[in-house]
Amino acid sequence: MRRYQLQPAAGEKEELELVLEDAPAPDPGPGEVRVRVTACSLNYRDLLMKRGQSASSAGGGVVPLSDGAGVVDSIGEGVTAWREGDRVMGAFFRDWRDGSFDMSYHQAARGGSCDGMLADFVVGPAESFVATPDYLTDAEAACLPCAGLTAWHGLFERGGLKAGQTVLALGTGGVSVFGLQLATAAGARVVITSSSDEKLAQAREFGAWETINYREHEDWDKRVWDITGKRGVDHVIEVGGPGTLGRSLNSVTAGGHIALIGVLTGFSAPDATLFPLVARNADLHGIYVGSVAMFERLNAFLAEKEIRPVIDRSFSFEEAEAAYAHLRSGEHVGKIVIEIR
């Protein structure tokens, strides 16, 4: 079978290299299944992994990409949950099935501390796969495991989002566009920001209530304040990190909720006071993807509302490098997919 691995590059190159290689197709052990992967999607995390900016990717040697979907192809001893031909998606955390998070789950994060999905076949514990909703294509399903689940976890599992509330989503990448779609479908109104007016026009087509160009309006928190009648938003999907957290704190309403998710502006300390959080009696939750049980609840909601992930562009398996380059360019809206044939 074909698989990619992230390997240390020869010479002075700073990034790990994507290396395409032949390997024997793995056999499922007891309690495992083998999945023929048909589609993967990329996340910003995959750029961090390639740059070696994650402790779990620093040495390379793993199959990249947390997110993939495919078809169960071989069943290991004792597995009753799946049959050959079942359509499934891989869970980001292989071992986080339900309940609260345990730090040991970081030891098996697909595409980071253990092999990911960018291969013809993968094996894993039967319980680390989730049924693909019937109405979705495999390419659409491949968008869900990281970005979709993270937005769901932040807004619904921890944020308790309700109809009639307001949400602020930063930028038009994978997590934020899922946040826009999920919150809109639940009857919330979404303010979304972007560096591009064209992308904001697209976001309005996906249901955005209000849009702000954060390049034109560096003080976008003031715009959020005005748009919401000087009340602030109930939820913030905070994917920016230290460079945006201060303005996100200024944007949240009294008793509101910030889902702290991303590091688009880096890993340093925030450049702002955290006092607005105190003054507003607001909540700040760290969100790291989610469990299999959350993933199943997300899928039930998606199917009920018939939400289809937004795919910006699809690449072939051989074009994996170009898919990474497209993600790095930041030109996309929503998700970037690699289809495996």
Ligand X SMILES: NC(=O)c1ccc[n+]([C@@H]2O[C@H](COP(=O)([O-])OP(=O)(O)OC[C@H]3O[C@@H](n4cnc5c(N)ncnc54)[C@H](OP(=O)(O)O)[C@@H]3O)[C@@H](O)[C@H]2O)c1
Q: How far is the CB of 141 from ligand X (least distance, A)?
A: 17
Q: How far is the CB of 328 from ligand X (least distance, A)?
A: 8
DSSP label at residue 146: I
Q: How far is the CB of 341 from ligand X (least distance, A)?
A: 24
Of the residues 27, 59, 164, 195, which one makes contact with ligand X according to CB under 6 A:
195
Of the residues 82, 206, 288, 301, which one makes contact with ligand X according to CB under 6 A:
288
Which positions from 263 to 282 touch ligand X by CB under 6 A, shown as an x/- string? xxx-----------------
Which positions from 236 to 255 touch ligand X by CB under 6 A, shown as an x/- string? ---xx--xx-----------
The owner of tokens 């050959």 is 84
Q: Which residues of 35-60 are buried (b: 16+ CB within 10 A; e: fewer)?
A: bbbbbbbbbbbbebbbebebebbeeb
Q: How far apart are CA 88 and CA 83, in angstroms?
A: 11
β-bridge pairing 311-316 and 233-238: unpaired
DSSP label at residue 235: E
- By C-alpha distance, which of 68, 45, 42 is closest to 121? 68
The owner of tokens 């595409």 is 111
Q: Under the criterion CB under 6 A, does residue 174 sit at the interface with ligand X?
A: yes
Of the residues 118, 261, 298, 340, which one makes contact with ligand X according to CB under 6 A:
261
CB nearer to ligand X: pick between 48 and 185: 48
Q: Within its chain, how far is the Cα of 246 from the centroid?
A: 23
CB nearer to ligand X: pick between 187 and 266: 266
Of the residues 89, 143, 169, 327, which one makes contact with ligand X according to CB under 6 A:
327
- By C-alpha distance, which of 166, 71, 155, 149 is closest to 109? 149
Q: Which residues bind ligand X (CB under 6 A)?
A: 43-45, 146-147, 150, 170-175, 193-196, 199, 214, 239-240, 243-244, 261-265, 287-289, 327, 330
